[in-house]
Structure 1
């Protein structure tokens, strides 16, 4: 295998490991998302970028490939714009952050219109790297965080402006501006819809399922919306995963779940964990169960799902819960 093909394979392997780590982190924090995609810059694209020069004629990237932070690119696509900040905090907590630019906020502050996005430049840390990324310490990558609507707009605009022949046409530019305004309004309505649905479920305005019904993903979401209305919704398959976790601990009906979560003070665990943002409902449920049942919970649920590192993660979180509790008692 020649050096260029070897380099490409190494980058692809690193990108896949980084993508899997990000998906795992979003799952651990109970953060809802549509998809996580990655790409590795082509040799032609990298060469073109390295050939760019500043106004004074000097190379913009004199260090060659090592100066390019976007050889690996990741896109995290979300449903609602209000989740973007939480995802950014989660990722900058796991990886070393070199740059965090909220281009959308800057654009709106300056009175602009259109999609710009939240862009992070991250690096796999040498100290305590994520388990899946141990072989890739020092690799840098760029992350773009978008909603599904922003993603559709950006992909279509890129296809027209960069691949089409009429990207600079005034009529087309005006149409893109109008579309971006509509997308911004639609994103806000998605947030309003999600908030309204959660409020109605927490108030019992939506007919509940019979309490004797066997717990499933839909009924569990209703239970957690009523128990923890202040926490953000998780991804649908995470509720299904939590159904299996609860069943492993003898909680398998709607009434049993309602009773258990109603009896627990989540503020205690939230204080002990010192969350940097409100996690998803599945994460707070996972931590509450862990704090209540301890090692028996680890043993009962370490093999639920496909996360091979779940046992070590649970034990680390359990130590944190107990250390924080001891510190507060001593104080």
Structure 2
């Protein structure tokens, strides 16, 4: 029986609680700072693995020497996010710089291999004073930050089902390094593209707020234009719960001859914002844009598209047509929830 067994039995439940606590803190930090990520996961070592490591490493003071009883892994999408996440970790926890490292820095210029950033931390004095963190102070934990592609390579290289480790024949080893290099190039490439898209979004936002609408509509510029239009007109825009591809919506816009934000802006009825306020109408980017297209030229919209959506009872387009034309639109496009049909007799 190991002389450290009682200590391990006492410390592991605390580390299990620590792991869950750190995961929750990190997830909240990432969401608050609007940093997208794939996963935040964690693990605590088993009693057997702890005792084995103490014996194998001949530790004399495992309470200080073991820093990986709790481990957290953050998988980000892009390399450009790694620095942002690293800054959050440095500000949120007490980082042991002597034991933290960047695996990239261990690779020489002619090496390709396992890459990620590792931090050894504790919760810090500020949190240690709070009752909810009782018994968690001075417990070390590791945080590993890597991109999706770095994670894929690490999983392949360390999974026993794949014979990617050890000494391989030169021709196979060369192929392995070539493909690993391709992953690294792709990782940097995706990060560069992500940064270019961010810069594009900032430029479009600046142009839109300054009234410069002479830009093409795409999946980035259309939401920017619409969000700014609703903010300017002091209207609420219904959020879209799940991100979706708006290529179909852009195709519908283009089908009626509208390519630029300035052209879309011109077809919005001058009283559209006021009608929305009067009718307490709430919709999302799809609903409002299709309202504008129908009001602009519903027959052209139908002629150039295979419409697979219908009008619903709380639409406001009835305010922009006489009764006969509105009935023709309902018949041509389709209509649901007849009970909510607008009261023509008491309009105005």
- TM-score w.r.t. length of structure 2: 0.54
Deviations 1:56-87 (A, max 9, x none): xxx3x221244200001111110000111111
Residue 102 of structure 1 contacts residue 117 of structure 1 at CA under 8 Å; is this kept in 2?
Answer: yes
How far, CA to CA, are the matches of 2:192 and 2:241 in structure 1? Answer: 20
With a CA cutoff of 8 Å and minimum separation of 6, indicate the structure with the bigger relative contact order. Answer: 1
TM superposition shift of 1:218: 8.8
* 1:139-158 map, 5 Å: 139-158=139-158
Q: What's the counterpart of residue 184 of structure 2?
A: 184
> What's the secondary structure of 1:160's corresponding residue?
coil
Q: What's the counterpart of residue 89 of structure 2?
A: 91
* 1:285-324 map, 5 Å: none
Residue 21 of structure 1 contacts residue 133 of structure 1 at CA under 8 Å; is this kept in 2?
Answer: no
Q: What's the counterpart of residue 11 of structure 1?
A: 15
How far, CA to CA, are the matches of 1:90 and 1:130 in structure 2? Answer: 21
Q: What's the counterpart of residue 50 of structure 2?
A: 46
How far, CA to CA, are the matches of 1:219 and 1:73 in structure 2? Answer: 31
Deviations 1:85-133 (A, max 9, x none): 111111111111112311213425x432122211111111133449664
Q: Larger C-alpha radius of gyration, 1 or 2?
A: 2
How far, CA to CA, are the matches of 1:139 and 1:168 in structure 2? Answer: 38
> What's the secondary structure of 1:76's corresponding residue?
strand
How far, CA to CA, are the matches of 2:147 and 2:129 in structure 1? Answer: 26
RMSD between superposed Cα atoms in Å: 3.5
Q: What's the counterpart of residue 21 of structure 1?
A: 25
Taking a change above 3 Å as real, the CA distance of residues 21 and 219 of structure 1, as seen in their structure-2 partners, is closer
Taking a change above 3 Å as real, the CA distance of residues 217 and 114 of structure 1, as seen in their structure-2 partners, is farther
Aligned length: 218
How far, CA to CA, are the matches of 1:17 and 1:65 in structure 2? Answer: 20
Residue 113 of structure 1 contacts residue 180 of structure 1 at CA under 8 Å; is this kept in 2?
Answer: yes
Q: Which ranges in structure 1 are unaligned for 5 or more consecutive residues?
A: 54-58, 221-251, 256-331
> What's the secondary structure of 1:51's corresponding residue?
helix
How far, CA to CA, are the matches of 1:147 and 1:138 in structure 2? Answer: 29
> What's the secondary structure of 2:115's corresponding residue?
coil
Q: Which ranges in structure 2 are unaligned for 5 or more consecutive residues?
A: 205-214, 231-235, 244-281, 286-348
How far, CA to CA, are the matches of 1:254 and 1:196 in structure 2? Answer: 27
Residue 167 of structure 1 contacts residue 173 of structure 1 at CA under 8 Å; is this kept in 2?
Answer: no
